[in-house]
Amino acid sequence: MAYKDEQLHEEKVFKDPVHRYVHVKDRVIWDLIAAPEFQRLRRIKQLGTTYLTFHGAEHSRFNHSLGVYEIVRRILYNFKNRPNWNDDERLLCLCAALLHDLGHGPFSHSFEKVFKLDHEHFTREIILRDTTINAILERVEPGFAQKVADVIAKTYEDKLVVSLISSQIDADRMDYLQRDAFFTGVSYGHFDMERILRVMRPMEDQVVIKSTGMHAVEDYIMSRYQMYWQVYFHPVTRSAEVILSKILQRAKYLFESDAFTFKLKPTHFMSFFTGDVQLEEYLKLDEGIVSYYFQLWQEEDDAILRDLCERFVNRRLFKYIEFNPNLQMNTWMELYGLFKEAGIDPDYYLVVDSSSDLPYDFYRPGEEEERLPIHLLMPDGSLKELSRNSDIVESISGKKRTDHKLYFPNDFVEKLPDKHVKKRISEILGLPE
């Protein structure tokens, strides 16, 4: 029997708090899960610094990746023998679902911003380079690894396959909304996934939804909207992300400085500091290693690095206020000068953070990120874009919401010896004197 068709002697299951069970029968999937590059995802948190806001948010990219695989497995079971679905693509879909987050680094997006990295690039590298994952995929058939990489990169020729993993109603979103809601303990991310899976239909180039399932999709979109503003963009989580980013920024600055020597050479970070990150080095750096350095850097000679690490490790986060840099630039410049005068380095201790989200959008040709809309399959066989039928979705379509916050160390301001400077900073920040 060919490797791609090989089945396990008995079905394996992972007990899952969201989907109850994750079922594995394909030998290829079982081997991919056991690969070191996939096991590494156990050491990468799904929600980065969110555990400092919602203490239950300790789940990993490993959990999430299994969940996305399981949702796609269920979708494909429902698609069997339906028009427009080619079951030869089944294993490709399952592999792409399982491996879609393979390249995420420690603390994901904060880490990427500082070092100008792209986790999607590293996902492709892990799949296509000399790795255990690549060897497994190439055993399926020559060029299979490239197909999986193309699905994840959204360049694969069969757009229906791509839409299962990446669209406005895909397995990735359906898993992370429910999983993140479960582990953070909030109720916002819940929706009737089973209903959505039952009304999904394969069309030539995308998944569509039977019109009778419209209300379940409305619920899903509103769940996503609420999760972004109540969990993903939570201001306390963003405070932790700001401090994390500033730690990495400061460590990089000190590494590049001839006047500073680390007590312990930051070996695991050196290629990240120099901008020459090789795949092998990338795979070795997980959140356990990063946390280890943060612990040690609390003892470093540099006061800023020492303070920022102590804040992160012990959750002494920055305070924040509403602040729109587009409207309050003069205020920002005055604050910057006052912080400098007070001896508080504003490059590390006065930070504007902006978050924005577009909960749902219809097709806008030529725009930077063209979003395929969700289509409803009407009783007469025609397709209708979701917001044309749903007043709820129409009300939020194409509306980007942005939130700005200004972060600063309130304890530093409170201890300022210069009463004049302290009073003026407190006035601007709206702090009690």
pLDDT tens, 115-141?
A: 989 999 999 999 999 999 999 999 999
Q: Classify strands 207-210 and 375-377 as parallel, antiparallel or unpaired.
A: parallel
156/149 Cα distance (integer angstroms): 8
Question: What is the C-alpha separation between 345 and 349, in angstroms, rounded?
Answer: 6
Taking 60 as the threshold, does the pLDDT of residue 370 lie above it? no
Residues in the chain: 433
pLDDT band at 365 (very low <50, low <70, confident <90, very high): very low
pLDDT of residue 356: 83
What pLDDT score was predicted for residue 402? 87
Residue predicted with more confidence, 1 or 201: 201
Pick the CATH number of 3-232 from 3.20.10.10, 1.10.3210.10, 1.10.3720.10, 3.40.630.30: 1.10.3210.10
Give rounded-to-5 percent helix, strand, coil for the chain.
55, 10, 30
| In the block, residue with structure tokens 């399981």 | 70
For residue 7, the surrounding DSSP H or E stretch is: strand 7-16
Is residue 367 pLDDT above 60, yes or no? no
pLDDT of residue 361: 66
CB 49 within 8 A of CB 103: no
**pLDDT value at residue 396:** 81
Q: How far is CA 102 from the centre of its chain?
A: 12
The per-residue pLDDT for range 227-246, each reduced to its tens digit, is 998 999 999 999 999 999 99
Instruction: Specify whether the CB–CB gap between 220 and 191 falls below 8 A.
Output: yes
pLDDT tens per residue across span 5-56:
999 999 999 999 999 999 999 999 999 999 999 999 999 999 999 999 999 9
Q: What is the mean pLDDT of residues 219-227?
A: 91
**Six-digit token string for 2:** 């060919």
pLDDT band at 261 (very low <50, low <70, confident <90, very high): very high
Band (pLDDT 50/70/90 cuts) for residue 363 is very low
Domain-by-domain residue ranges, the chain?
3-232
Considering the chain, what is the average pLDDT of its residues? 93
3-class secondary structure, 375: strand
pLDDT over 60 at 369, yes or no: no
The per-residue pLDDT for 368 is: 42
Mean pLDDT of 167-181: 94
- In the structure, what pLDDT confidence band is assigned to residue 325 with cuts at 50, 70 and 90? confident
Task: Name the burial class of residue 10, with classes exposed (0-12), middle (13-18) and buried (19+) by CB atoms within 10 angstroms of its CB.
Answer: exposed
Residues 146, 416: Cα–Cα separation, whole Å: 58
Q: Quick one: pLDDT at residue 52? A: 96
- Reported confidence tier of residue 357, pLDDT bands at 50, 70, 90: confident
Q: Is the pLDDT of residue 80 over 80?
A: yes
DSSP 1: -
Q: Averaged over 369-386, what is the pLDDT?
A: 85
Q: What per-residue confidence (pLDDT) applies to 432?
A: 80
Cβ neighbors of 424 (< 8 A, separation 6 or more) are 338
Instruction: Read off the pLDDT of each residue in 270-292 and give the average, rounded to a whole number.
Output: 94
pLDDT of residue 241: 95
Residue 394 vs residue 15, higher pLDDT: 15
Pairing of strands 319-322, 207-210: unpaired
